[in-house]
Structure 1
Amino acid sequence: MRGLVAAGVYVPRFRLETDELERAWGTNRAAGVERKAVPAADEDSLTMAIAAARRALEDAPLERGAIETVAAATTTPPLEEGDFVSRLVRALDLPAAVATATATQHTAAGAEALARALDADGPALVAVADCPEGTPADADHPFGAAGAAFVIDDDAVVPVVDVAWHSDETSGIRFRERGDRGVDSLGITTYERDAVREAVTAAVSSLDVDAADAVGAAVHQRDGSFPYRITNELSLSSESVATGTVADHIGDVGAATVPIGLLSALDEVGDDLTVAGFFGGGSAAALACEGSLSVRGVTDIESAETIDYSTYLRERGYIVDGEVAGGGANVSVPNWQRGLDRRYRLVAGACPNCGGVTFPPDGACQECHARVEFDEFEAPRTGTIRAVTVIGRGGAPPEFASLQQRDGAYAVAIVSLETDYGSVTLPAQIADADPQSVAVGNTVVATVRRIYTQEGVPRYGVKFEPVADTD
């Protein structure tokens, strides 16, 4: 039966305790959320989707070239108009001929993407990521950031035994006006809760399974207590709802909340029934799954680095103007486009004459200096720092100044990647680390992050993050 063969979760390392919100504003509009995940200044819904998808694909029992469908879901794409899924396909080195779909505009978008993959023929990848924002004084309080990914195929480890839908107009539950970055709602608590409860109840009740048999459940959760309030007309036990409730630890992550909750439940339950109830401000969907699955990255839900509220405001860009003095180095879109394989996947070149390695694989061989057509290959994503420096405040080139306003000083290193042809060395920014703690000899691993925005288009590429010491 068709369903999940692998999955992955990505949650940013930063957490903001909601007690910080109360100290800052005198009130906490995130009741039921103990802490929320905070994206770093160079993270967005695309980078989190890539990270989660990479984890899912690493555990999938198939080659990436076998993927025939890619479905993505987010309510916060980097560009209001601009293809989201094509960047995902390129960064993950998936076949250019894959069928693609992007679902957005409502928090049940993850269910749409999953349904598309389940209806498709052949292996499929689903990536769901979100980082909603709101007015810092109130609406923003519960919003977090995270991503989830699923590899779907026949002969599944976790079959999806049924999918059901319910649709009705329920205006004002959650909306974002065109051109506005902030999410808002009517704020009529009883009306909103009843609308979600009625829609989710209708969808789950339409499944060809008895929800009373579920030992795991993930339902629409704008906070940690909301799932229990909207399931009182369903026969779901409190214990089953607890397995899929994650908003109390990572916040409301929009379209990604229920998918992450579902994977949290599947990672915990045995070979029994798990149900998921999605809500999107009118549409609701329900999935029924059987079995359990080890999910890479699910422990990120609990692990975290706590930050204070002023750091949070900077990382999210609420208190920086983004203005940059000077022109910086202009790299045109066509030139950037030609280098995507090396920027995303560290594609290097082996010289057919001398066997030496060249990165990037352009021009003459760096060993024998011959003009050749290189044999391209992907360098390993794990390497070693050979030299490092810290770019202090005000010292960044103009194109990186906006990031530095939000994230402060950052480390830049020469990283060595060992290949069968020799060492690949390249300069790169170091992410997710105190720059003063980065040292020569550290082991680092590649991650795709936002580099800067130029000509109105976000530019993405590889940075490196330190590998945690497991001793």
Structure 2
Amino acid sequence: MRGIAAAGAYVPRFRLSADELADAWGTSHASGVERKAVPSADEDALTMAVAAAERALDAAALDRVELTLAAAATTTPPLEEGELVPRLVRALDLPASAATATETGHTAAGAAALSRALDADGPALVVAADCPEGDPAEADHPFGAGAAAFVVADDAAAPVADAAWHTDETPGVRFRERGDGDVQGLDITTYQRDAVRGAVTEAVSALDVDPDGADAAAVHQPDGRFPYRATGDLPLSNEAVAAGTVVDRVGDAGAATVPLGLLAALDGAGDGDLTLAVPYGGGTAAAFAVEGSLSVAGIDDLDGGTEIDYATYLRERGYVVSGEVSGGGAHVSLPNWRRSLDQRYRLVAGKCPECGGVTFPPEGACQSCHARVEFEAFEAPRTGTIRALTVIGQGGAPPEFAELQQRDGAYAVAVVALEGEDGTATLPAQITDADPESVAVGDEVRATVRRIYEQEGVPRYGVKFEPTE
């Protein structure tokens, strides 16, 4: 039976506690949320999708060239108009012939992406990644971040036994005005609760399984109390709902919350267990009945993280910085940037056929023998060692990195050596996810795709390195 063959989860390392938030505002509008995940200044829906997908693909027993579909779901794409999935395909080195789909605009977008994958011929990749934001004084309080990725295939470890839908118009429950980055709602509590509960009940009741036998249920969860209220008309135990609830630990991650809850439930399930996934958004509730269990790479991220204070939170999310950049910086034209994507995403280096030396990027003359040759391309290892290091202090960043520094403070830049069977590639790169004073020459680091900077209105992405410990 077709279903989930492998999965990966990713949650950003920063965490903001409900107590810290309440101390800042005198109250917290995040019922049942004990702490929430906070994306770093160089993270967004795309970078989190790449991180979760890498984990899922590494756990899958297939070659990436076999994938026939890549589908992504988010309510916070990096650009309001501009496809996310082609960047995902390039960063993950997926086949250019794979069909693509981007689902957005509502928190049940992950259900639409998963449904496409279940209907596809051949293995498919589905990623739900999100980082919603709102008015810091109120609407933003529960919002977190995270990503969940699924490799969907036949004869899967966690087959999807059935799926059902229910759609009705429910204006004002949750929306974002055109051109506005803030999520809003009309806060008509009873209307919202009844609308969602009715849709959830109808979708689950249409499944060809008995919900009374469900061992776990990941249900629409904008806060910690809502999933229990949304299932009030269904024969689901509180223990089953709790098994699929993650909003208390990572916050409301939009389209990614229920997928993360489903992965948490599957990772803790038994071989014969039944898990329901019931996202809701934009008037649509979907219900999936998933059987069995699955080991999920990265699921421990749900309970990890580094605590930050509220002031740091405001800076990381860009609420209190101007983002204005003085000067033009090092302009790299988009055509030139595009030509270097294989190096920026996948660390493609070149081996000299004359002397065997390695050149990165693989352009021009060999860095060892200086011969003009046709390099033999190969992917350098994604784990390496810091050979040299410096810290760019406040105000010392080139103009294109000024916004990052406003939000994240000083950052480290290192020369990293990537030693592999084909030789050693050496390159300069930023260090992320670490106090710049805590890293040193000799430390082991691994590559991660992050946002580099924005130029000409287009966000640009590439490899940075994070400490392995």
Give the structure-1-normalised TM-score. Answer: 0.99
Consecutive unaligned residues in structure 1, runs of 5 or more: none
Alignment partners' CA distance in 2, 1:352 and 1:240 = 60
- 2:375 matched residue in structure 1: 374
Match of 1:218 in 2: 218
1:76-115 matches, within 5 Å, as 76-115=76-115
Hey, what's the Cα distance between the residues in 2 that align with 1:173 and 1:342? 44
Deviation at 1:385, TM superposition (A): 0.5
In the alignment, which residue of structure 2 is the partner of 1:206?
206
1:435 corresponding residue in structure 2:
436
Instruction: Determine helix, strand or coil for the equivalent of 1:121.
Output: coil
Once the two structures are aligned, what percentage of the paired residues are identical? 73
Counterpart AA for 2:249:
H
Q: Say whether the 8 Å CA contact 1:172–1:281 is kept in structure 2.
A: no
SS of the residue aligned with 1:248? helix
Alpha-carbon distance in 1 for matches of 2:327, 2:72: 37
1:156 alignment counterpart: 156
Provide the rounded CA distance (Å) in 1 between the counterparts of 2:267 and 2:355.
49
CA distance in 1, matches of 2:254, 2:96: 29
Structure 2's unaligned 5+ residue stretches are: none
Q: Secondary structure at the match of 1:193?
A: helix
Describe the SS at the equivalent of 1:274.
strand
Q: Partners in 1 of 2:382 and 2:74 — Cα distance?
A: 27
Quick check: 185-194 or 399-408, which moved more?
A: 185-194
Report the residue type matching 1:404 in the other structure.
Q
> Letter of the aligned partner of 2:208 in structure 1?
D
Match of 1:456 in 2: 457
**Aligned residue for 1:38?**
38
1:316-356 CA-partner distances (Å, limit 9, x unpaired) = 00000011111111001101000000000000011122222
Distance 2:461 2:352 in 1: 28
How far did 1:408 drift?
A: 0.1
What corresponds to 2:71 in structure 1? Answer: 71
Partner amino acid for 1:194? D
Q: After TM superposition, give the deviation of residue 381 of structure 1 in Å.
A: 0.2
The one-letter amino acid paired with 1:415 is V
Q: Which residue of 1 aligns with 2:347?
A: 346
- Deviation readout 1:1-56 (Å, 9 max, x if unpaired): 10011000000000000112211111211111001000000000000000000000
Structure 2 counterpart of 1:297, which letter?
G
Structure-2-length-normalised TM-score: 0.99
CA drift of 1:131 comes to 0.2
Any runs of at least 4 consecutive aligned residues in structure 1 with deviations exceeding 2 A, and if so which?
A: none
State how far apart, in whole Å, the 2-side matches of 1:86 and 1:422 are: 31
1:252 equivalent to 2:252? Answer yes
| Cα shift at 1:421 | 2.8
Q: Secondary structure at the match of 2:419?
A: strand
3-state DSSP of counterpart to 1:417: strand
Q: Using the alignment, how far apart are the partners of 1:343 and 1:425 within structure 2? A: 13
**Alignment partner, residue 445 of structure 1:** 446
1:281 CA drift (Å): 2.4
Q: Which one-letter code corresponds to 1:397 in the other structure?
A: P
Partner of 2:331: 330
CA RMSD of aligned residues (A): 0.7
Paired position in structure 2 for 1:395: 396
Distance 2:295 2:317 in 1: 32
CA distance in 2, matches of 1:116, 1:371: 48
SS of the counterpart of 2:127?
strand
| Aligned equivalents of 2:105, 2:246: Cα separation in 1 | 22
Tell me, what secondary structure is at the counterpart of 1:180?
coil
